[in-house]
Structure 1
């Protein structure tokens, strides 16, 4: 892709009225729900897949793995492309791939086409981070919190509602109907996005980092293969250890490469900041805690009564028993936004983690009746909604507006790694202790309780890490408040500084340590001089003097300057200082 130089500013919605915020939230959340639903769509037919596809059980398991791998690889790539060329445009492309993949699976019973179709469906999980970023660019500040909370929770809601919905479809129709329904929902979502959602005007420009995309893809595929297939291949087998080794080498090489490239796929210098790194790390144990219940409780509900602890429910009844999980997540979204507004997203995250840990702890004792399991999974859903809704809000307070899709894509990837880890851990624990019942082996009650305790421990671990997450102000509010005249009856509140954030780099990509940024007003008056942080970042307060000129300078290098316009809270691109050697080459 050619270098576009300065960031683009495109108003795709020019000439038409802006959609109502409630409509934007409804459309984007519905699209996220469909994408998440596709991840668990085939779970009810997993035992029948070898027969349906005329293959072995080990090969049929790739129907799940293909979706997981495609989603993991596509999410950060789609996020970066969304920041570069338009989030709505990339969202439409991912939904188009979902529809194509669904139709491909619906018209065949052959293994290879089904695997390709499931991989295309997996790409659509990128709709969640893209939708969150579109909300930030489209919604007014007062609606942003509840919209993000609902959009983020769709990753859990889709899993919670997908199981009973898929079970109902399989009960009344052929298994191909699962994919026809998914394709129809995807097509409806694509049409609604095309008609209702405006394109974001925030673009980062730059070149697409092909080398970074390839390196990250190899590393993620190796990592997720080792995690998701380790129990099947054997944790000490050559295949598992080889996949893990490839992942380590590829990810280390990828990280070194990303630190040197001008327009990286993932800005590692930005993502190692504490305000971004810690929420991403927390997302992994939160993903484990979210998905563990969806793995453990179905096995308890469907286990034969003769086992002494199983409830012997049919697939459909078991799915309906777990449905409150998704329903509660949906209902809790406005509560999450309210808590985040009053006390901040970090508090919402911590409350959610306490609820998750408590629910799993209580769940070790409440396993003797379906209503008890339904109650426990509902409370877990409330905690997950609070935690999931807070994570993207924390990250978007710490990243530039031109990097929101990529940052949310990385966060979604961390959650996916968590859910994959949950499946792997549950498989190890549940298979380590089984009891023979009617000629089959089912997990023992002790194994089920151990898995729930591990999930509670993950929530506690995430809670401890969350104590170190910095509490940053909401930049969206600062931007919106600039230039607004207070009403006569409005209480006087001290206005938060409308900070402008950015980075200063050398032309070889390293942070310009020691540089200073000078703010110059529209009348030529010097307003302030700000030192640059060791990582190249800075935060300047132009006050009411907008537009202003930012000039970055360092002894021995050519200065760089950029104009800051009203409403701009982050610089679209770094300020790059040319070294003497570069100056000589240019001359």
Structure 2
């Protein structure tokens, strides 16, 4: 049972705007981890004296760590205090940054990057903290701002990383991330209040291990399948094993009194549809982050690229992040006025328009600027709406775990997009005179079409979400299933 669930128990709170600002900075630092090594990704085999397949783990390790850690951290936050777990995640990120900064070889870099990925869990935990400590009238706008950091950190962090990697030793990137983590740790410790809402009980270690094993197997198959071969025994074995483990995990979770995730709550129509829409929305977002940078950076001689350096290309992508940030106050007011469901619908429509525009016009740099602005609107509205829908449909004792599951859903979408769009661009390619494989114009058109498809799925799911979810704080009524 929850204890201390009255916000009035919180005394001597810092200004609420300051709390929101600190949690937003924490969110920015977490999303920055995904673009940290993008400027040096193609140079990693040379820098680390390793094969390209091995250096791919520098990115994959962060992805896997984030996906596994986020839902587990959410449950730990519900049980032991959300701020406490936020501090632990930030400390793990700082440790990972230091390890990577001091490591000359690939093993230390991969270990450090895996530890850095854990910090992604601070975003859903931060959103849950807002519900506990903010005045109800401020919650929607604050959630919209924190949600926007998922896109803003990457869009703004990419040019910063490019400048640092171009003008100094690449290890400086990890010292910067570590320093940022220390600053955020101190601010969270001194500004963010301790949440008084806790859920009693024992932590489900078996459930955590099962979820981690299942997710790792599935995500490894998805993220590395293009290199290993989609029909290879390793890819198929991991994929099938992961699905089987997750099915067994779900069966187990429904039959224990204190599960890691209450699947009865997760199975409610508003929550289930929102999480499915999150997968589609994550796919639509990452489709642009894979295809647009490649198109901007490919040599103009290929006939499909613009030949821009990484820094210039990142500046073309950056408007999407700026739009997300500027939209957050408006998103909160709109959600309060018309409901987050309409916001998710508007975001999906904007993504459809963005990719439709790219299908028709993608021959000038300014065309991609317009497309990225539209994507900023789509992701800004969509990412703001999803945690609001979750928070309105789950009891207060489940906010951390439920937001963690929603963040995991977005990660599944982005991981799938990275694999599928990567396969499309690689398979629909031609060999240039110097022997380089480059995607064709048709490959980019197919990528945009897949983005439209994902956005359409998100739109349909958004329209199916009930207009009036369970009021905040109410426990949903679900049919009882047998427990052991």
TM-score range, shorter chain: over 0.9
TM-score by length of 2: 0.96
**Distance in 1 between the 2:49 and 2:338 partners?**
55
2:420 equivalent to 1:447: no
**Distance in 2 between the 1:380 and 1:201 partners?**
38
Deviations along 1:416-454, one digit per CA (max 9) or x if unpaired, are 010001101111110111122333111111100110111
Higher-RCO chain (CA-CA 8 Å, sequence separation at least 6):
2
Q: 1:222 aligns with which of 206, 217, 221?
A: 217
2:474 equivalent to 1:501: yes
Find the residue that maps to 1:471 and give its secondary structure: coil
Find the residue that maps to 2:360 and give its secondary structure: coil
Q: CA deviation at 1:502?
A: 3.8
Stretches of structure 2 lacking an aligned partner (at least 5 in a row): none
Q: How many residues align?
A: 483
TM-score by length of 1: 0.80
Stretches of structure 1 lacking an aligned partner (at least 5 in a row): 1-5, 477-499, 504-531, 537-575, 583-587
Greater shift in the superposed pair: 361-370 or 204-213: 361-370
Q: CA deviation at 1:475?
A: 3.7
Q: CA deviation at 1:368?
A: 1.6
2:21 equivalent to 1:26: yes
Q: 1:324 to 1:469 in 2, by over 3 A?
A: same
Partner of 2:456: 460
2:7 equivalent to 1:62: no
Contact 1:12 1:198 in 2 (8 A): no
Q: CA deviation at 1:320?
A: 1.1
Q: CA deviation at 1:535?
A: 3.9
Matches within 5 A, 1:28-107: 28-107=23-102
Q: 2:194 aligns with which of 199, 204, 220?
A: 199
2:346 equivalent to 1:351: yes
Find the residue that maps to 2:198 and give its secondary structure: coil
**Distance in 2 between the 1:247 and 1:473 partners?**
32
Contact 1:352 1:387 in 2 (8 A): yes
Matches within 5 A, 1:407-556: 407-437=402-432, 438-472=434-468, 475-476=471-472, 501-502=474-475, 534-535=479-480
**Distance in 1 between the 2:254 and 2:5 partners?**
29
Q: CA deviation at 1:140?
A: 0.7
Q: 1:170 aligns with which of 165, 173, 183?
A: 165
**Distance in 2 between the 1:233 and 1:407 partners?**
33
Q: 1:474 to 1:331 in 2, by over 3 A?
A: farther
Q: CA deviation at 1:468?
A: 1.2
2:370 equivalent to 1:375: yes
Q: 2:237 aligns with which of 242, 245, 251?
A: 242
Q: Which has the higher strand share?
A: 1
Contact 1:212 1:254 in 2 (8 A): yes
- Larger radius of gyration between Structure 1 and Structure 2: 1
Contact 2:270 2:469 in 1 (8 A): no
Find the residue that maps to 1:235 and give its secondary structure: coil
**Distance in 2 between the 1:121 and 1:15 partners?**
31
Q: CA deviation at 1:162?
A: 2.2
